Amino acid sequence: MNRRYRKTVIAGNWKMNLTLTETQTFAEELRPLLSRSKWCDVVLCVPAINIPNAVRLFKNTRVAIAAQNVHYEDHGAFTGELSARMLREQGVKYVIIGHSERRQYYNETDFTVNRKVHAALAEGINPIVCVGESLEQRELGVTLEHITYQVKAALSGVPAEKVRKIILAYEPIWAIGTGKTATTQQAEEVCQAIRTVVRKLYDARIARAVTIQYGGSMNTKNAAELLAQPDVDGGLIGGASLKAADFAEIINAANQE
């Protein structure tokens, strides 16, 4: 983390977990655990159907509500999809774009990721763009090339003044939901490389200001060490964000000076 230049953001990605009733219980449990300190922003990416209730449940707290996906068109014949404007009107502040599960199961491509980034930005929603290599790519030694390509594709056509609204989340696919976390060195190496890509595409000032998260089996045990890396400005947390006590512990780890 480097709070002098950029925001620390801890985001919980609930995926297809927690019903409305469970969300209410989670909110009741988390509220008293949220520390008053303002060192980091807290985001919860909830299932779309629970967004309006989650916004209500976390009103007047530090928790911003996020969606897990968005369509790239503004409106139209896209059965089952939601537009950025629909999300914005419901109080959504962030949206995950290009999570590896969506790339893998729902044909999300670098092209659609880029279009979704533009759609979200047009409505003032902050994209959380996920990039990450497979185990095969890591073993082949092409991690940095792959990440560079994904970041460049995601940012294509994004004007300099909007880049700071984007969070880039480095999520090695082999670490997601597997209990296998990247080492602090691996996380830092890739997050630093992502910042270098942003610097080359834009400039040093913008690269310094952009928030880069690590995601992939981040939990109460490893969060502090990962967040201590200079280029890791937060976490995108799946499994460990489903329990209020664990999520609060990770937020507190990010709140340490």
Closest separation between CB of residue 4 and ligand PGA, Å? 27
Nearer to ligand PGA, 83 or 211 (CB): 211
DSSP alpha helix (H) spans, the chain: 20-30, 51-57, 84-89, 100-105, 110-122, 135-140, 143-155, 160-163, 184-201, 204-209, 223-227, 244-255
How many chain residues interact with ligand PGA (CB under 6 A)? Answer: 13
Radius of gyration, alpha carbons of the chain = 17
SS (H, E, C) 4-60: CCCCEEEEEECCCCCCHHHHHHHHHHHHHHCCCCCCEEEEEECCHHHHHHHHHHCCC
The interface mask with ligand PGA, positions 171-190, x = CB under 6 A, is x----xx-------------
> What SS3 class is residue 226?
helix
Q: How many CB atoms lie within 10 A of CB 248?
A: 20
Closest separation between CB of residue 131 and ligand PGA, Å? 12
Positions in 13-52 near ligand PGA (CB under 6 A): 13
Closest separation between CB of residue 58 and ligand PGA, Å? 19
Residues belonging to the active site: 99, 171
Closest separation between CB of residue 68 and ligand PGA, Å? 10
Nearer to ligand PGA, 103 or 164 (CB): 103
> What SS3 class is residue 225?
helix
The interface mask with ligand PGA, positions 210-249, x = CB under 6 A, is -----xxxx-----------------xxxxx---------
For binding to ligand PGA (CB under 6 A), which residues are involved?
A: 13, 171, 176-177, 215-218, 236-240
